[in-house]
Amino acid sequence: MMKKLFLFVVFASIGMLTLSAQTDRTNFRAGFHAGLPVGDAADFSSFSIGVDLNYHWGVSKTLDFGFATGFINAFGITVTVSGDFIEIELDFEDVQFLPIAGSTRIFITPDFKFGGDIGYAIGINEGNDGGFYYAPMVGVQISGTTEIALSYRAVDNEGTFGIVTAGVLFLF
């Protein structure tokens, strides 16, 4: 799986560099996001924050390709399990990922876009193997250099760790 993903990223990179010659638009975005774990992730984490880094090449007026990375930290929670004669507290650790992904953005208008990232999220904390990463998103440009983005970020590896996020990205 990792070998296939690596080869995909290499060939996609070569393709994007070739296509980037068709337009002079390139951009770097950096920002942050906050989110709420959903599904199984909500059973052991309560809140998430992260940092986003993106680099895109404009291949046409309506399409960008690039790379995305960052850092995601979901804060662990304490859960109390009660039985007839016993009560146990379970402390869950923070869950941390470093996503490395290919990225696509499709511009519906100059200020509204949708797209997604797909790749692999490296598990940072102990016992976290990481997994297949995907993040569909919708973004709105609120100024010439600032964007608001909503996304669902998920890491799949024997289950799905999902987070619904809202973030701010700054264009450089």
Q: What average pLDDT does the chain have?
A: 89
Task: Determine the residue type at 3.
Answer: K
Task: Determine the residue type at 75.
Answer: F
pLDDT by residue, tens only, the chain of 172 residues? 555 555 455 455 555 444 444 455 678 999 999 999 999 999 999 999 999 999 999 999 999 999 999 999 999 999 888 888 889 999 999 999 999 999 999 999 999 999 999 999 999 999 999 999 999 999 999 998 999 999 999 999 989 999 999 999 999 8
Q: What is the pLDDT of residues 120-169, one digit of tens each?
A: 999 999 999 999 999 999 999 999 899 999 999 999 998 999 999 999 99
Joined together, the tokens standing for residue 72 give 């995601």
Find tokens 């060939």 and name the residue: 11
Residue 109 to residue 55: CA distance in whole angstroms: 20
Rounded to the nearest 5°, which phi and psi values hold at 121? -105, 120
pLDDT at 81: 86
pLDDT at 165: 98
pLDDT at 11: 52
Domains of the chain, each with CATH number or no CATH: 2-171 (2.40.160.20)
pLDDT at 19: 46
Q: Which of 100, 96, 105, 95 is nearest to 151 (CA)?
A: 105
- Helix, strand and coil content of the chain, in percent to the nearest 5, comes to 15, 65, 20
Q: Compute the C-alpha angle 165/145/149, nearest 5°.
A: 15
pLDDT at 80: 87
